[in-house]
Chain A
Amino acid sequence: MVSALAVTGGRVVTPEGMVAGGVLVRDGRITALGGFEIPADAEWIDAQGKLIAPGLIDVGVFAIDRPAFVAGGITRAVLMPDGSQPIETVALIQHAAAAGKPKVWVHPLAAATRGLNGHELAEIGLMQAGGACGVATGRRWIADSGVMYRLLAYAGALGLRTVVHAEDAGLAGHAVMTDGETATRLGLASAPAEAEALAVARDLLLVEATGAPLHFRQVTTARALDLIRAAKHRGLPVSCGITPAHLFLADSAATGFRTFAHLSPPLRDESDRQACLAAIADGTIDLICSGHDPQGPEAKRLPFADSEPGMAGAETLLALSLTLVRDGMIGLDRLFDLLAGAPARLFGLPGGRLAVGEEADLLIVNTDAPWRIESDNMAAAAGNTPFDGLPVQGRVGQTIKGGVLVR
C-alpha cells in the first residue's frame, strides 16, 4: 500500500484563502500544502488546475447512502437517529458508525428521547461513550418544554450539541405546506411560517437558561433567522443549517402536486427564501446540509399530503451550493466552511479543512463541469429530488478519504 500521496497543480481551498499548488499526504494526514517536493515513494495525481477542497461533512442525513455520498464528495455524514429503529442504544450507535467505512465515515447522533417520543431521556451518556457526536430530537419538535429544558441541561453538561427540528407542532398541525397562494390553490393543509420562529424562540430561551449548545438542523424563515442572528450577537452557543432546496426553491415548486417538493420543514415563500440567502451572506447560517432522505415511489407516488417529506440531496449538494459562489454571494473559502469547516467545528469531527496535520479528506472538483440533475439517473437509493431537470455546474472528480483514493 502506498503511504504517500501527492496532489499537485490545483487551487487549494484553505481556511486562509486560496493557495496555488497541491497537497501532500502521508499516513492519512496532510504534511504539506501549496508547493512541495514530490517524494519518490508517493503516488502522484495531477489536479490539472482544478479545485482541491476539503471533503464535505453533511450534517443531518436520514440514510447511510454510500453511493450518493461518494458521488457528492461527502466524506463524513452526521446521521440523524430516525431509522426504522431509533438510534437509542450503544449497539446501534456503533453499528451506524461502522456502516459507511472505509469510503464514508458516519457520525451518528444519539436519539435525545426514548423512541424519539419526546418524553423520557435516552441513554445519552452511554451513547456518547459509544461514539455519538451529538444528540437529536429527530424529525419532530419536542413539544414539552420541561423535557426540552432537561435534555439541554443534561446534554450540555456532557459537552454534546443538541440538534433540533424547529417547527411548533401545535401550529404546524398536519400541514404539508406553508400558508400561501400555492397551498390555497392546491387545496393542501398549510401552516403559518411563524411555526418555525415560535419553536426557535422557545429553544433560544432554553439555551439561554442552560448554556447548552444547540443546532437548528434547518432554519428557513426570515423571522427565525432574525431571532438566531440576535441570539448570536448575545453570545449564545447556537448554530443553524439549511438545505439548497430552501435557498433555491419557493413553495410554488409544489405546483402540480409535485411530491418531490414535499419537504419538512415545507418550502417557504419567496421573501423567506431571499432572507435565507441574506443569512448565508451575513454569516447567520453556519452550514449547508443535504437533508439526504431518499424516498422511493412507494413513499412519493402518492397524493401530496399522503406522501413522505424529504429529498435525496447528497449528490446535488456541492453543485447547487456552488451557485452561491458563481452568483458572487460568497467566496470559495466561505463555501467550504459552510460545507465542511463549520460542521467539523460544531460537532468536534476531524477533517473539514485543509491544513498541515489535519486528516486528509479531500476532493478534486471541476467547478465548471456542466451536468443536468436527473431524477432517473442518480447514485442515491432513490431519485426524489425537487431539482429534477435542472442544469448545474460543478462535479467531484476524485475523492480522497484518509489519504486513500476512494473515487
Chain B
Amino acid sequence: MPSSPTRPVDGREVHPFPHRHLTGIAGLQPHEIAFLLDEAEQWVQLNRGTAKHDDRLAGLTLINAFFENSTRTLLSFEIAGKRLGADVVNMAVAASSVKKGETLIDTAVTLNAMRADMIVIRHEASGAVQLIADKVDCPVLNAGDGRHEHPTQALLDALTIRRRKGRIDGLIVAICGDVLHSRVARSNILSLTALGAEVRVVGPPTLLPPAIERMGVSRFTDFDAGLDGADVVMMLRLQRERMAGGFVPSPREYHALYGLTYERLAKAAPDALVMHPGPMNRGVEIASAVADDLERSAITEQVEMGVAVRMACLDVLTRARRGVAGW
C-alpha cells in the first residue's frame, strides 16, 4: 500500500476524502463522491462471494443510534459493520421517548464516553446529526436526518446508476413524487448534479420544495413532461399521512396522476432505469408490475449496493483512527 493516499485530480494531487464525518453530500467534491463509489466496488465483489468477511474493523465499536424507526437501513448498516469485522451495537430509540434536544446532546456525550469508534445516526429532525457530530470525538455517519440529507442512499443510488448505465455524467434523471419531505431527494440532487447528471424534480406542486430550482434542477408538475426522455426514473415514497387530503387528495388520485405505470414509463427513454429507495407503496407511487420488472427495475440492486457503499464509508471514515498511512 502506498504511504500517501493522494489521487490525481485535474493534474493536482489531492487527498481523496479529507472529511472526519459524513453528515451529507453537501460539502463533498465530485471526486470525493467518485472515490467512495470506487471504494464500494471491491465490497460488491466480496459480498457476492461465499466468504463475505474482512476484518479490517476488528476491535472497533460501531454504534447504530436510530432515533427514528427503520428496518432496512439499520439492517444494512449492521451487515456492513459485521462484514468488516466491527463490534456492532444497535441502539433503537423510539422517537417519542428521546426527542428533545438536551437529551439528544446528552445521548451524544454518553455514546462518546463509551468510546465508540464510529456512530451511525438517524433522527427525525433536520440538523440533528450535525448537532451530535459537533459533540463527539469519533466519526459520525448520517443515516438520515429529517428532510435534510441521507448521503449513503445517494451514494448507493449513484453506484447503481453507474454500474447499470456505465456513467452518470450527461444522464437525465427524473426524481418523482414527494420531494418536499424527502431527504433522499435532497442528497440525490446534490450528488447527481455534482456528478454531471441533468436532474429534474417531478411531482404535485404541494410536494415540491420552494426555490428548488436554486439547487440546479428543473421543476415539473406534469408527470409525462418530467419523464420525457429520462434515462433514470427515481420514484420516492409517499407517506400514508400525506395522502389524506393535506397534500394530495387521495392515494387513488395520486396514482392516477403521479403513479409510475408501464404506460407512463413509455414517455421515458426506451432503456430507462426505474429506481425506488423503498419501502414501496405498491399501487400508489409505483405499479407492482414495473417495480418487479427485472429488466427495468434496479430496486433490489439498490439494496445490494447499499451494503457495499456503507462498507466503503465505514472503512474510509475509520482509516485515520486505524492508523492507515496517509490518513
A residues apposed to B, CB below 8 Å? 179-181, 183-188, 190, 192, 256-257, 297-298, 301-307
Chain A residues whose C-beta falls within 8 Å of the C-beta of B128 in the assembled complex: 303
Chain A residues whose C-beta falls within 8 Å of the C-beta of B145 in the assembled complex: 187
Are A184 and B211 interface neighbours, CB within 8 A?
Answer: yes
A185-B26, A187-B148, A187-B183 known; A304+B127 contact, CB < 8 A = yes
A302 to chain B, nearest CB (A): 3
Shortest 10 CB-CB contacts between residues of A and residues of B: A302-B101, A303-B125, A257-B127, A187-B147, A187-B148, A179-B210, A181-B214, A187-B126, A184-B209, A303-B128
Q: Does B325 contact A (CB under 8 A)?
A: no
Chain B residues whose C-beta falls within 8 Å of the C-beta of A188 in the assembled complex: 126-127, 146-148
Report the count of interface residues on B (CB-CB < 8 A): 27
Are B125 and A184 interface neighbours, CB within 8 A?
Answer: no
B194 to chain A, nearest CB (A): 14
Residue from A190, A303, A307 within 8 A of B146 (CB atoms): A303
Q: Does B215 contact A (CB under 8 A)?
A: yes
Chain B residues whose C-beta falls within 8 Å of the C-beta of A298 in the assembled complex: 101-102
Are A181 and B211 interface neighbours, CB within 8 A?
Answer: yes
Assembled-state Cα–Cα distance A307/B126 (Å): 12
Q: Does B237 contact A (CB under 8 A)?
A: no
Assembled-state Cα–Cα distance A213/B145 (Å): 46
Q: Does B186 contact A (CB under 8 A)?
A: yes
5 contacts between A and B (CB under 8 A): A180-B211, A184-B212, A184-B215, A185-B186, A192-B210
> Interface of chain B, helix or strand or loop or mixed?
mixed
Known contacts A184-B186, A188-B147, A302-B101; 20 further A-B pairs (Cβ under 8 A): A180-B210, A180-B211, A180-B214, A181-B211, A181-B215, A186-B126, A186-B127, A187-B126, A187-B145, A187-B147, A187-B148, A188-B126, A188-B146, A256-B130, A257-B127, A301-B102, A302-B102, A302-B104, A305-B125, A307-B101
A61 to chain B, nearest CB (A): 25
Residue from A184, A185, A192, A257 within 8 A of B131 (CB atoms): A257
B20 to chain A, nearest CB (A): 16
A319 to chain B, nearest CB (A): 29
Chain B residues whose C-beta falls within 8 Å of the C-beta of A184 in the assembled complex: 186, 209-212, 214-215
State the total of A-B contacts with C-beta under 8 angstroms: 77
* Chain A residue at minimal CB-CB distance from B212: A184
Are B183 and A303 interface neighbours, CB within 8 A?
Answer: no
In B252-270, which residues have CB < 8 Å from any A CB? none
Contact with A along B182-218 (1 / 0, CB 8 A): 0100100000000000000000000001111011000
Chain B residues whose C-beta falls within 8 Å of the C-beta of A187 in the assembled complex: 126, 145-149, 183, 186
B99 to chain A, nearest CB (A): 8
Assembled-state Cα–Cα distance A195/B77 (Å): 42
Assembled-state Cα–Cα distance A303/B105 (Å): 10
* Chain B residue at minimal CB-CB distance from A297: B102
Assembled-state Cα–Cα distance A185/B186 (Å): 7
Chain A residues whose C-beta falls within 8 Å of the C-beta of B186 in the assembled complex: 184-185, 187
Q: Does B82 contact A (CB under 8 A)?
A: no
Q: Does B12 contact A (CB under 8 A)?
A: no
A344 to chain B, nearest CB (A): 40
Q: Does B240 contact A (CB under 8 A)?
A: no
Q: Does B123 contact A (CB under 8 A)?
A: yes
Are A303 and B131 interface neighbours, CB within 8 A?
Answer: yes
In B85-116, which residues have CB < 8 Å from any A CB? 99-102, 104-105
Chain A residues whose C-beta falls within 8 Å of the C-beta of B130 in the assembled complex: 256-257
Assembled-state Cα–Cα distance A307/B209 (Å): 22
Chain A residues whose C-beta falls within 8 Å of the C-beta of B102 in the assembled complex: 297-298, 301-302
Assembled-state Cα–Cα distance A185/B213 (Å): 11
Are A305 and B126 interface neighbours, CB within 8 A?
Answer: yes
Instruction: Identify which of A180, A184, A187, A298 gathers the most chain B CB atoms within 10 Å of its CB.
Output: A187
Chain B residues whose C-beta falls within 8 Å of the C-beta of A179 in the assembled complex: 210-211
Assembled-state Cα–Cα distance A324/B292 (Å): 64
Assembled-state Cα–Cα distance A257/B211 (Å): 18
* Chain B residue at minimal CB-CB distance from A305: B125
Assembled-state Cα–Cα distance A299/B100 (Å): 10
Are A257 and B126 interface neighbours, CB within 8 A?
Answer: yes
A254 to chain B, nearest CB (A): 10
Assembled-state Cα–Cα distance A345/B102 (Å): 43
Chain B residues whose C-beta falls within 8 Å of the C-beta of A305 in the assembled complex: 125-127, 146
* Chain B residue at minimal CB-CB distance from A184: B209
Chain B residues whose C-beta falls within 8 Å of the C-beta of A257 in the assembled complex: 126-127, 130-131
Assembled-state Cα–Cα distance A302/B211 (Å): 26
* Chain A residue at minimal CB-CB distance from B135: A301
Assembled-state Cα–Cα distance A175/B186 (Å): 19
